[in-house]
């Protein structure tokens, strides 16, 4: 109420009057000056610490930014390491494939060289057989009335005459070659003989070529009487 407010103001005035009388105006002035000085210092410190806090906040933001950048760099580094691991694995795989390819090529070269050596050996043996047959030409011509001709693909053609007493000049012939295995092989026979396969097998087993030619001539002779 208004009476209570008036009473409170009166009490405050009395307290202030008594305070002045006890402590004195000068001491009050010093106290007030000290208060103002403290207040100024507090404000200065507050401003200083406020500035420090702001700097601290900026520093924290900067540190957080650095941390984020480090995390991002670590993530990129991890991805690069994974890519590097994949590249190394692919390189190892390609090196293994390259090694396997080289080994395969080496193996094929060795097989090819061996096949060529075998082929060369067989060709040499076949050539030697043909040469031996050609050397026997005179003997066959004299004793068996046989003419031997060398035709295409290193084949020999054997022509018998004086077999058919009705037509002495009628030719009876067969063609002989040396196959890839180095064996004698009859490629044609005119007129055809049913026993030619048997003779061919026998000459492969015995390697008696003279008997082989003689047997064929006998078979032609027997055929001429049918």
Least confident stretch, 2-6, 85-89, 187-191: 2-6
pLDDT of residue 27: 65
Residue 182: phi and psi, rounded to 5, are 85, 15
Query: Of 110, 143, 176, which closes a domain?
Result: 143
My answer on whether 199 and 175 are in the same domain is yes
Say if 186 falls within a structural domain.
yes
pLDDT of residue 188: 96
Indicate the pTM of the whole model.
Answer: 0.42
**pLDDT above 70 covers what percent of the chain?**
81
Number of domains into which the chain is organized:
2
Give the residue numbers spanning the domain of 125: 81-143
For residue 5 the two structure tokens come to: 């407010």
Say if 114 falls within a structural domain.
yes
On the question of pLDDT at 35 being above 80, the answer is no
Query: Of 102, 128, 143, which closes a domain?
Result: 143
Secondary structure of 61-102 in the HEC alphabet?
A: HHHHHHHHHHHHHHHHHHHHHHHHHHHHHHHHHHHHHHHHHH
pLDDT digits (tens, 9 = 90+) for 16-28: 777 766 666 666 6
Give residue 79's pLDDT band: very low, low, confident or very high (50, 70, 90).
Answer: confident
Say if 25 falls within a structural domain.
no
């Amino acid at each position: 109420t208004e009476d209570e407010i008036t009473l409170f103001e009166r009490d405050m005035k009395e307290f202030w009057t008594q305070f002045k009388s006890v402590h004195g105006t000068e001491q009050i002035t010093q106290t007030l000056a000290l208060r103002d000085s403290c207040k100024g210092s507090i404000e200065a410190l507050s401003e200083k610490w406020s500035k420090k806090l702001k700097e601290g906040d900026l520093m924290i933001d900067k540190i957080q930014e650095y941390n984020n950048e480090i995390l991002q760099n670590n993530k990129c580094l991890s991805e690069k390491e994974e890519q590097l691991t994949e590249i190394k694995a692919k390189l190892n795989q390609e090196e293994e494939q390259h090694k396997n390819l080289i080994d395969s090529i080496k193996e094929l070269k060795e097989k090819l060289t061996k096949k060529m050596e075998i082929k060369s050996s067989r060709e040499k043996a076949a050539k030697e057989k043909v040469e031996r047959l050609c050397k026997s030409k005179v003997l066959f011509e004299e004793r068996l009335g046989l003419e031997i001709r060398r035709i295409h693909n290193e084949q020999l053609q054997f022509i018998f005459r004086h077999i058919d007493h009705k037509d002495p000049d009628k030719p009876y012939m067969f063609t002989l070659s040396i196959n890839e295995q180095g064996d004698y092989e009859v490629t044609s026979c005119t007129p055809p003989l049913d026993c030619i396969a048997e003779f061919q097998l026998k000459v492969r087993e015995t390697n008696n070529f003279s008997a082989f030619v003689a047997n064929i001539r006998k078979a032609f002779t027997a055929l001429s009487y049918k």
